[in-house]
Amino acid sequence: AVRKTGTTVIIEDVTFPVEQLAIGVNRLIELFDKHHYDEAILFGHALEGNLHFVFTQGFNNPEEVARYQAFMDDVAQLIAVEFGGSLKAEHGTGRNMAPFVELEWGSDAYQLMWALKRLLDPQGILNPDVVLSEDPHIHLKNLKPMPAADEIVDKCIECGFCEPVCPSKGLTLSPRQRIVIWRDIQAKKRAGVDTRELEKAYAYQGIDTCAATGLCAQRCPVGINTGELVKKLRAHSANHLKAADLLGNHFATTLQGARFTLHVANGARILLGAPRLGKISATLTKASKGRVPLWTNAMPQPERAVRFSPPVKDARPRVVYLAACVSRVMGPAAGDKEQTSLLDKTRSLLEKAGYQVVFPENMDSLCCGQPFASKGYNEQAEHKRQELIGALLHASRGGVDPIYCDTSPCTLRLVQDLGETRLDLYDPVRFIRTHLVDKLNFTPQTAPIAVHVTCSTQHLGESQALIDIARLCSTDVVIPEGIHCCGFAGDKGFTTPELNAHSLRTLKDAVLHCSEGISTSRTCEIGLSQHGGIDYHGLVYLVDRVSTAR
């Protein structure tokens, strides 16, 4: 992570006879000094005489390549000839050691290897030049540069640890591939090459289909969040600043517009029928390139505008309830067996546990800024976030009262970079485990329940707590394997539905015998319900159903 930008990391593994290991360590260090690899480190498996050495190397000019060549020649001579060791202790031979196989094994053994190779692979099509090569300089050809691309990702060594959790891997690009191609675009630009066609393809492959939830950072050894690069690139093309200002400054009207849109969609469902509307919607979404949101059976009905009652003075402890904008707009789907809104269900559960529920003033005008940030409108996003923080400070009497946010992504955005601001913020999982579990009696149901741990829940460190709470509520908890992110990503499930479908392609089979699923994000639950074939609800629905007040 601290290497010079533009250099790559070389890792090799060699073996000395165990009784000569200490001498070998010192001789390798001498070679590092001789060739000026001052940052090189040694580690390994001493019991086997196995040493790994790691150093950083640039391949951007002939002098650096020549230095590398001289170093590898000296390493091969030291290990294979002087000490009679092995140039490969446990990793594959590869092109880097192919020129030195004969040096290590001798001419007779080397020719026997080639005879076997030609018998099995007479056309030389199986891994050419990887283990055996007739080119003594194969290790100096096709060297991969790592040009500077952006400070967010320049630390990446393209190891690929990020890939298993990426929802777009296999559909378009993985985080590693996004970085590789962006590096190539930047290098070509600096060389004066026209990159317009490449950037046009990258817009969809790299930017539009990135969920930007940052799970890749959790797997990355140096914490690179490729989603941050994607958000930065979105900001470069975010050219509707006046519209973003208008929406942010008149957010209550924006929510009314969203409710009206859901009313229209629901009316179309009643008029046309769900199957016909689904086909028409899919056609419109494709033709408009995502500008017209996709309608599915899991599409929410409009939620009525929230009516607030002023707080009263009584002995009950207070909790400030921050209902996310999606909770204020999106009610249950028409076909959902559960028709109580998330807001009403949450308020009911909190009151069951003995809390007086208090709402921030002018709540329909408030937003954490996540919808703006995901589109690249960072200034508007931060304005809405600060506006909400101010309202929460007032509602919580300067941070005295806990604040319950019913949606994990909003909670995550609010708790980041709070500095000295005193807000006792909770997502549903943390609040339930901290404040409700000891105030309720649980009678677990026998019906199996599917659990989806959202990306935000993972970032908040509440994954296991969510599973533990689910197990308090049900004797049969199912956590679908291999689904790390649902790919709905706020509104991608509407505008780029193929990302959501690809990410959840294995969900239906995994939850076949479940009657219900739970999560902590209303938008995630839309995609989960659609592709899982069961209704997904907020965690509070399950907790409320199986609990009574103590």
Sorted by sequence, the CB contacts under 8 Å of residue 527 that are 6+ apart come out as 298, 486, 487, 488, 493, 500, 504
Identify whether the C-beta of residue 369 lies closer than 8 Å to the C-beta of residue 412.
Answer: no
What beta strand segments (E) does 37-152 contain?
Answer: 41-45, 50-57
Q: Angle, nearest 10°, between helix axes 21-34 and 62-76?
A: 160
Q: Would you state the pLDDT for residue 435?
A: 95
Identify whether the C-beta of residue 504 lies closer than 8 Å to the C-beta of residue 510.
Answer: no
Spell out the domains of the chain, with CATH numbers in brackets.
8-140 (3.30.70.2740), 163-236 (no CATH), 300-435 (3.40.50), 439-549 (3.40.50)
- Strand duo 449-451 + 477-478: pairing: parallel
Q: How far apart, in whole angstroms, are the C-alpha atoms of residue 176 and residue 165?
A: 12
pLDDT beneath 70: ranges in the chain: 306-309
70: its two tokens: 């001289």
Identify the sign of the CA torsion 73, 75, 80, 83.
Answer: positive
Q: How far is CA 99 from CA 54, 121, 136, in A?
A: 20, 19, 5
Distance of CA 533 to the CA centre of its chain: 24
Q: Would you state the pLDDT for residue 309?
A: 66
Q: How far is CA 46 from CA 54, 86, 399, in A?
A: 16, 14, 55
Residue appearing with tokens 């839309």: 526
Q: What is the pLDDT of residues 140-184, one digit of tens each?
A: 998 888 889 999 999 998 999 999 999 999 999 999 999 999 999
What beta strand segments (E) does 281-413 contain?
Answer: 300-302, 318-322, 330-333, 356-358, 403-405
Q: How far is CA 112 from CA 102, 106, 108, in A?
A: 11, 10, 6
Q: What is the pLDDT of residues 256-294, one digit of tens each?
A: 998 998 889 888 888 888 888 888 888 888 888 777 788
Q: How far apart, in whole angstroms, are the C-alpha atoms of residue 284 and residue 16?
A: 66
Q: How far is CA 508 from CA 229, 466, 501, in A?
A: 32, 21, 11
